[in-house]
Chains A and B, each alone.
Chain A
Amino acid sequence: MSVVTRKLVMKELYVNRWMIGSAGVGAALAAAVAPLGKTAFNVGALTWLTVVIAYGAMLAIHGVMNERKEQSLQFVLSLPISIGDYVRAKLLGLFLCFLVLWTIAVTAAIAMVLIAPDVPDGLLPFTLALSLYMLTNFAVLLCGALYARSEGLVTAVIVITNMAISIFMFTVGAMPEIQDHLHSPTPVWNRTIFNVFIVELIVLVIALALPLATAARRRDFL
C-alpha cells in the first residue's frame, strides 16, 4: 500500500471521528439500558440496531456519495494516486470506520448478554450472527455505493440493505435450531449457527473484493 493510500485511509478515520465517537457512545448506552427490564430491552435493542444501521448509511452517504456530490473527490483524485488506489483507500478506510463502531457495539452487546442476569446467555449465538450480518450488510452497502454513480441508486442500496436486516432477523431468528435455544441459560453452538456464520463470511469477502474488481478498474471516475 502506497503512502498516499495509507494517508487516505487515515483521512477517513479523521473526518469521521465525531460520528464514530457519538455512534459508539450511542450503541454502548443502548446495550447498557437493555438489561433494565422487558421494555428497556426492546428499546435498547431497537436503539442499538438503529445506531449501527444509521451509522453505516451515514458513512456511505458522507464518505462516498457526498464526496462526489460536493466535488471534494476532484481534490482527492488530484493526489498522486490511481483510481484503483482511491477505491482501495475508500474501501479500507470506510470499512475500518465501521469496524471501530461495530467492535464497540458488539462488545457492548456481548457484555450485556453475558453480564445481565435477566438476559439469557442463549441469546449470544444469535447476537453474534446478527452482528456479523450487520458487518456484511455494511460491506454490501459500501460495495454498492462505490459502484453506483447516481444518488438514487445509492439510496436504493441503502433501503434494500436496511430491509435485509429485518428479513434476516425474521428468517434466521425463526429457524428452529436457533429459535429453540434463544432462551437457554447457556449458548448453544450448533451446525446451523456455524452455517450462518460461514455464509455471512463468504458474502462479506465477496462484497469487499467486488469493488476491487469493478470500481477500481474504471477508467472514468468523475
Chain B
Amino acid sequence: MTLTKHIEMRGVGKAYRFFSLQDISFELEPGQVMGFVGPNGAGKSTTIRLAMGLIAADVGEIRVLGCPMPEAQAFAKRDVGYVSADMRLIPGATLGWHMNLAASIYPSWDAAYAATLIRRFNLRAEQLARSLSHGEHIKAALLLALARRPRLLILDEPTTGLDPVARHELLTEFMDVLRDDSRSILFSSHNTVDVERISDRITFLDRGRIVASSDKEEFLERWRRIEVQLPQGGTLPELPHIVGRASDGHFHTLTTNQFSDELVGRLGNTVRNVQRMTLEEIFVANVMYHREARQ
C-alpha cells in the first residue's frame, strides 16, 4: 500500500514584483521532519503559505494530505496544525476561548494534552491574547496546534525570537509529536541548530529556489572541508565536486559536497586535515556555491 504523501509540490512558482519563487518541488513523507533552511527572503514563508492554501501558486501543483491546494484547503486543514512566528491570536479573546474554539472545531482535540501543555508552557487560560508576550504567543499557538493532534504540523520559523529555554521546550514537544510515525513536520528556520536537532530531511532555499534537498545524515556525510598544504612550486590537481576553495600561500582549504576516500587519495600526502562540517557551514557553503554558479 502506498501511503499518501503529506506534502507534494511539483514545479511550483509564484511571482511578486520584487521576488519570485521558482520551480519548487519536494515531497514530505509521513513520519518525516523536513527542515526548510534559508536566509531571510529565501522564500520559506511563501512556500509554507502556498502549502497552507493562504496564497495560490501561479504555476505547478501542490497537494497536502492528498488534497489539491488551495482548492481543497478547508478539507486538508482539518488535519494540519500551522504556526508561524508572526501569527497572532485574536487579541480580544482569552487563550481559554481559543482552546474552546479549537475543541469545538476539531474532533481530535485532546483536552488532557492541552492541560499538560498549558502547565508546561506556563500559560494561563484566562489570559487575553493581547497581553501575551511574543514567546507566550508562539507557545499558545503551538498549544492550539499540538493539542489537535494533527497529522501534519507546518511551522514557519516558530523558534524565532525565543529565548534558549523556550526554544528547548518547543523542540522537545516537536520530538514528542514524532513518536507517532504517521505524523510529520515541515519546519522552517534560519537557525540551523534547531533544524539539525529535529529534522531528518533538509531542504535549502535561496533567492526563491531550492538549492539542495537531502537526508540530514547524507548532507553531514557528503560535505567535508579539506585542508591542503602544497610543497614549494606545487599546484592543486583538477578535482571533481569542489564547491569552494580559499587559498593562503601554500595553504588551501577545499570544500567538497561529494566527499570520498578517492578524493583524499588524489591529494596524497598534501592533506593536512579533513573536517566534518556543521549544518550551518554546509548551508552557507551551499548557498554561496549556487549563487556563484548562477552569476
Contacts and interface: CB of A to CB of B under 8 A. Distances in A.
A222 interface: yes
A85 B53 CA distance: 13
Contact of B141 (A16, A75, A77): A75
Interface residues of A, number: 28
A6 to B, nearest CB: 10
Nearest to B87: A74
Q: Interface residues of B toward A: which range?
A: 20 to 34
A77 B90 CA distance: 12
A11 B93 contact: yes
B122 interface: no
Contact of B86 (A74, A77, A80, A220): A74
Interface in B222-257: none
Contact of B89 (A14, A75, A222): A75
Interface in A9-57: 11, 14-16
B77 interface: yes
A222 B55 contact: yes
B219 interface: no
Interface in B61-76: 70, 73-76
A211 B49 CA distance: 23
A79 B77 contact: yes
A80 B104 CA distance: 12
Contacts of A78: 52, 77, 80, 82, 87, 145
A14 B100 CA distance: 13
B209 interface: no
B93 A15 contact: yes
A220 B56 contact: yes
B88 A74 contact: yes
Contacts of A83: 70
Nearest to B106: A80
B104 A74 contact: no
A14 B88 contact: no
B282 to A, nearest CB: 31
Contacts of B70: 82-83, 219
A74 B52 CA distance: 10
28 contacts: A4-B74, A7-B101, A11-B90, A11-B101, A15-B90, A15-B92, A66-B91, A70-B91, A71-B88, A72-B88, A72-B89, A72-B90, A72-B129, A74-B82, A75-B88, A75-B141, A77-B54, A78-B145, A80-B73, A80-B76, A80-B77, A80-B78, A81-B73, A81-B77, A82-B53, A219-B56, A222-B49, A222-B54
Given A79-B105, A80-B76, A220-B54, 9 more contacts: A11-B101, A15-B93, A70-B91, A72-B129, A76-B90, A82-B70, A221-B55, A222-B49, A222-B55
The 3 A-B residue pairs whose C-beta atoms are closest, nearest first, are A219-B56, A78-B82, A15-B92
